[in-house]
Amino acid sequence: MQERMELFKEYEYCKLCPRQCGANRQAGEKGICGAGARLRAASLTPHFGEEPSFTGQKGSGTIFLSGCSCQCVFCQNHQISQSYAGRDYTADAFYDATYALTSKGVHNLNFVTPDHFWPHIRHICKRLRAEGDHIPIIFNTSGYQGAAMVDQYSDWVDIFLPDFKFAAPDLARQCMADPAYPEIALEGLRKMVEKKGFLHPWDPSGRHTATTGVLVRHLAMPGRIDNTLAVLEILREEFGRFLPLSVMSQYQPMPGSMDIGEMDRQLTESEYSEVCGKIETLGFENVYIQELSSQSEFIPDFKKEQPFFGNR
């Protein structure tokens, strides 16, 4: 027990995310993320809903962790990020489950919203590397990570897959209660690119899956295309036209977003066309875009054994 307490001592006064809430998770307190000191996960599965750079032919070994420091009102994973669905794992049981996932031949281990469980993730990475397993590790995040923490992650993480959600502080305040998100996300992204460079190899066919680097995701939101255009301008100015991007159209109204402006509807064809036009105007070279559809088969239901319909 003492060894485990020392191993995960950061939970005693938690400062793992920019909320800096200071919860004593070891003593049973919950952070703003919703998490205590026991790791909780909702799904560990080969996933085919990520970009081809990660799914390849055998899938991305995706691990959906419960809780999230961002708490966005429109989160499509709200069952786990806010309602905290999932099951608890001891450190050893989680390692066994992770190892079983790698044994299925997946191309990578893809930890989704892992920052509030970073001590556990670091422990897993150390064990895997010590045993000679060099499967690429993906840090799949909200973009809400401080640069100092990115320094720690980069010792063990091969690929950073951050969101860049908001360009405007007011929209960040409205959607996740922290107007500092744009500044924090940009500073963290600079550090990710400094440490790992751009995603490599860049092969949208999925024949050669990525092994290192950074790809930035952004979700276009209905009625807030101004936010998306500003995000694209910031990224182009900061990182140039070769920054790998995934600009998504899969927004679906979620319970927490129904009373905010036009966020109670889906994206329109004209809105996403404007976004795609901006991508072209800015000259981005390495971009994933989505086909606009009325519904997404990759909106998960974590109440089911297989949360993703598209993985069947």
Each residue's pLDDT tens digit in the chain (312 positions)?
444 556 799 999 999 999 999 999 999 999 999 999 999 999 999 999 899 999 999 999 999 999 999 999 999 989 999 999 999 999 999 999 999 999 999 999 999 999 999 999 999 999 999 999 999 999 999 999 999 999 999 999 999 999 999 999 999 999 999 999 999 999 999 999 999 999 999 999 999 999 999 999 999 999 999 999 999 999 999 999 999 999 999 999 888 888 787 899 999 999 999 999 999 999 999 999 998 876 666 678 787 777 765 543
How far apart are the C-alpha atoms of 138 and 37, rounded to whole Å?
Answer: 22
CA distances, 235 to each of 85, 212, 268 (Å): 34, 20, 24
Place of tokens 């952070």: 31
Looking at residue 24, what DSSP letter applies? -
Closest CA to 164 of 224, 247, 283: 247
Domains of the chain listed by start with CATH number = 38-311 (3.20.20.70)
DSSP 237-266: HHH-TT--EEEE------GGGTTSTTTTSP
Alpha helices in 177-310 (DSSP H): 181-196, 225-239, 269-282
pLDDT of the residue at 254: 86
pTM recorded for the entire structure: 0.95
How far apart are the C-alpha atoms of 31 and 86, rounded to whole Å?
Answer: 17
